[in-house]
């Protein structure tokens, strides 16, 4: 469900009365008052567009994009330019697409496969630039060294990105890396955020082993957060493989489950934490 974004009372009053000059005045004031309230302005833009003032919406969005380009926040700039591209009256011009690709490059500058991905998925020359952008983002969301969960199989690192064959390989410690077509990555691969328990198993197994031994309750809480849903004992044990020996499980579990943040529901085989 989309998050409801509230607009300020001043904006709300101007929009309710369709005082478009006042709306523009408030928009310019917002651009001159850091930090720019980007999400609020996107909501204002949506309301303006819905009211049929499409040219005004585009103009204000262009002003937002111009301002964001000077703030050094390429991800917000990319969001604004993506929206401008989506709302373009006809085919977006090459200048807008150049800016779109430049902001994307800046937002993903630390990803190792950026250049080859853009060489393979050039946004500026694409017939459907936003689709090309989404494909490029999908590749870089699963770039080399990214720690991901392979649904139903385990957690590991991306070890190969093959743009020609259109697939990604993940090393989860088995005999052969798991190969996933780029079109299926959203279903079968889940990038794990920084600090996630299962990601730390891959990045710092020794450090995590010490934490699991020293703080059973806190470690269990982190495991449950990582799993993202009420989980049975089997799933918890699987998440701890490699950082907790099987011979230590019983005593560890007896301590860990007493943590006040660990709640349970169900009984028997349906018991979940």
Q: For tokens 């077509």, name the residue.
A: 181
Q: What's the mean pLDDT in 193-213?
A: 94
Task: Decide if pLDDT at 174 tops 80.
Answer: no
Q: What's the mean pLDDT in 177-185?
A: 96
Q: What's the mean pLDDT in 166-193?
A: 93
Percentage of the chain modeled with pLDDT above 70: 99
- Predicted pLDDT at 268: 81
Centroid of chain to Cα 149: 14
- Predicted pLDDT at 185: 96
Task: Decide if pLDDT at 266 tops 90.
Answer: no
- State the DSSP string of the chain: -PPPPP--HHHHHHHHTT-HHHHHHHHHHHHTSSSP-HHHHHHHHHHHHHTT-HHHHHHHHHHHHHHHHTTT-HHHHHHHHHHHHHT-SSSPPHHHHHHHHHHHHHHTTT-TTHHHHHHHS-TTT-SSHHHHHHHHHHHHHT-TT-EEEETTTEEEEEEEEETTTTEEEEE-SSSSPEEEEGGGHHHHEEEPPTT-HHHHHHH-HHHHHHHHHH-HHHHHHHHHHHH-S---HHHHHHHHTTTS-GGGHHHHHHHHTTSTT---BS-GGG-B-
218-251 confidence digits (pLDDT tens): 999 999 999 999 999 999 999 999 899 999 999 9
Q: What is the mean pLDDT of the chain?
A: 94
Of 239, 267, 269, 204, nearest to 256 (Cα)? 239
Task: Decide if pLDDT at 72 tops 50.
Answer: yes
Task: Decide if pLDDT at 2 tops 50.
Answer: no
Task: Decide if pLDDT at 89 tops 50.
Answer: yes
Q: Is the peptide bond before 116 cis (omega within 30 degrees of 0)?
A: no
Percentage of the chain modeled with pLDDT above 90: 87
- Predicted pLDDT at 269: 78
- Predicted pLDDT at 173: 85
Q: What's the mean pLDDT in 160-183?
A: 94
Instruction: Count Cβ atoms below 10 Å from residue 223 Cβ, excluding itself.
Output: 24
- Predicted pLDDT at 3: 59
Task: Decide if pLDDT at 1 tops 90.
Answer: no
Q: What's the mean pLDDT in 177-191?
A: 95
């Amino acid at each position: 469900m989309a998050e409801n974004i509230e607009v300020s009372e001043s904006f709300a009053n101007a929009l309710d009365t369709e005082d478009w000059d006042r709306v523009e005045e408030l928009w310019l004031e917002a651009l001159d008052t850091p930090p720019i309230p980007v999400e609020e302005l996107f909501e204002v833009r949506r309301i303006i567009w819905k009211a049929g003032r499409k040219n005004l919406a585009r103009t204000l969005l262009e002003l937002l994009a111009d301002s964001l380009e000077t703030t050094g926040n390429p991800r917000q700039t990319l969001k604004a330019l993506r929206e401008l591209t989506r709302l373009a009256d006809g085919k977006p011009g090459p200048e807008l697409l150049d800016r779109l690709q430049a902001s994307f490059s800046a937002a993903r500058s630390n990803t190792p496969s950026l250049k080859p991905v853009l060489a393979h998925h050039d946004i500026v020359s694409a017939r459907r630039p936003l689709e090309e952008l989404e494909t490029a983002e999908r590749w870089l969301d699963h770039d080399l060294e990214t720690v991901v969960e392979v649904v139903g199989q385990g957690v590991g690192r991306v070890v190969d990105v093959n743009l020609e064959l259109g697939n990604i390989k993940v090393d989860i410690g088995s005999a052969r890396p798991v190969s996933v077509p780029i079109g299926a990555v959203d279903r079968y691969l889940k990038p794990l955020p920084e600090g996630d328990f299962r990601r730390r198993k891959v990045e710092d197994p020794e450090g995590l082993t010490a934490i699991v031994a020293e703080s059973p309750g806190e470690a269990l809480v982190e495991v449950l957060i990582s799993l993202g849903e009420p989980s049975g004992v089997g799933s918890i044990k699987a998440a701890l493989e490699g950082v907790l020996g099987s011979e230590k499980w019983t005593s560890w579990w007896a301590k860990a489950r007493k943590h006040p943040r660990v709640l349970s529901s169900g009984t028997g085989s349906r018991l979940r934490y």
